[in-house]
Chains A and B, each alone.
Chain A
Amino acid sequence: MAGSRKVNTMSMATLHRNLVKAAFAALLMLLPARLMAADAAPADKLSDGDKQCLGCHGFEGPKKELPGGKVLSLHVRGDGFAKSVHGAIGCTSCHADVDLKTHSQKPKTIASSREYSVAMTKVCGGCHADALKQNETSVHAMLLASGNPSAPICTDCHGSHAVTPKTAYDTCVGCHLAAMDAHRKWLPNAGLHLEVVSCAACHAPAAQRMVDLRLYDGATKKWVAEKEGKPEFEKTARAADTDGDGLDAMELRKLIGQLNRDEAAQPKNLRGRIELRIGGEAHQLSGKSKAIKDCAICHRQGAEPFQNVAISIFSADGKPLRYKAQKEVLGSVLSVDSLREFYAVGGTRNILLDILLVLAVLAGLTVPIGHQVLKIIVKGELERAARQDKAAKGRDQP
């Protein structure tokens, strides 16, 4: 990339010339193989128009100078874009204002990259009206409206050119690292909770929750994903669900057994997470005072999050694929092994143990009561025997 790095120091005119040349080169596919190698396969899927844009924007180097000595990188990774959910819609779906004829000659005035991003994310709502609407009620949107310069907008959580369905939750921690410790003050096992409860399950209190039992591969330490082009999860799950009413505990056991056919390999297990039933409701984040703090919302038998259960794995492109399971699997004895990594005290307890406890207490109470009753009976018997004895003796004596 040495060549393109030099571009930095060139004047606008030479940059322009270089960019035109580069665009040409891209179109003619004459770019050095090394530059294109990473992009080659996925980028092939892009339209010619997109490739044209990437001819100038597809590699590091070009930057636009902004007021105050700041710069805006003009680099867009072609491979990341091609693999993203938006690969098919093309650059101009979002950049409709770009006119190639005037494009690089008539520089746009951009006050700051933040301002540009905020303005640009208006286009997202054009196609994602629901998300836009949900987001409008969030604490972040309010912060944005009140002028908070670091309040996140669509692209802060999802990215702009490499948007994937992969969970956007990873980004939360990036901005809220300090807040993670704040949870420790009131939440025992805070680390565990932050792993097994999605942020929005507590911070979007109005949303509906569910238990997502996701397949985890202990050997590779990764979530299991479908193999590219060979989807079989849904089929396998459907086959295990013989009566078609969601997996029950027995069927779930069978399914786990089937997924772990290869006995030599470290078994894959289901890990439970409390998530939202409708992912998009994660936008309805409210302020911390409204967040769920009441443990009983999850740690009570029959709690709301445990009413909906699904098992899931990731699709090849990172979307969660879910298959319904019956909520009873959470408290079943048969799940001792199939759900060996998920148990929330109180919330998912087994009824047989409850019966056993009642019997134990009853037995404990029976001991003193029974023994006292026995005492009365035995004493009564002994006294009667003594009376009879005495009477007999009395009769004997004249």
Chain B
Amino acid sequence: MRLEEIAAKLGCETLSAVDHDIDVDAVVASDGMSEILAFHRPHALMLTGLTNIQSVRTAVVADVCALIYVRGKRPDAKVLALAGEHGIPVLATPRGMFESCGILYEAGLEGVM
């Protein structure tokens, strides 16, 4: 599914440049950075409720294709700048983690294993 469609389903606001051509087939969702890194599938979409600088570093290390912050959280400018440096699109949804995952699961996306 294209990132653009996902953004529409979750009512996302775009926080940094989004390449709409990104195709997402798997999702990794957690507030635990080591948990995100425990999975091996590159180019997954990352969902998290943590907006600190480590969320972006984790996204870089995990090689995710895009990062969506849940629960309406927004990172500060420094965090967004780091994501920009690494070419990671950043979006924010007002929905919580449970709802966001439910919507994406319903839409046919898989979790990483």
Asked whether A and B interact, the reply is no
